[in-house]
Amino acid sequence: MSTGELKVKASELRAKDVPGLKKEVSDLLKSHFGLRMQKATQQLSNHTQLGNTRRDIARAKTILAQKKREVKEATK
Q: Which tens digit of pLDDT belongs to each residue from 50-74?
A: 999 999 999 999 999 999 999 888 8
Within a domain: 48: yes
Predicted model pTM: 0.85
- 17 lies in some domain: yes
* In contact, 44 and 38? CB cutoff 8 Å: yes
In the chain, how many domains are there?
1
Supply the CATH number for residue 63's domain: 1.10.287.310
The pLDDT assigned to 45 comes to: 92
Sequential DSSP letters for 29-72: HHHHHHHHHHHHTT--S-THHHHHHHHHHHHHHHHHHHHHHHHH
Range of the structural domain that residue 37 is part of: 10-74
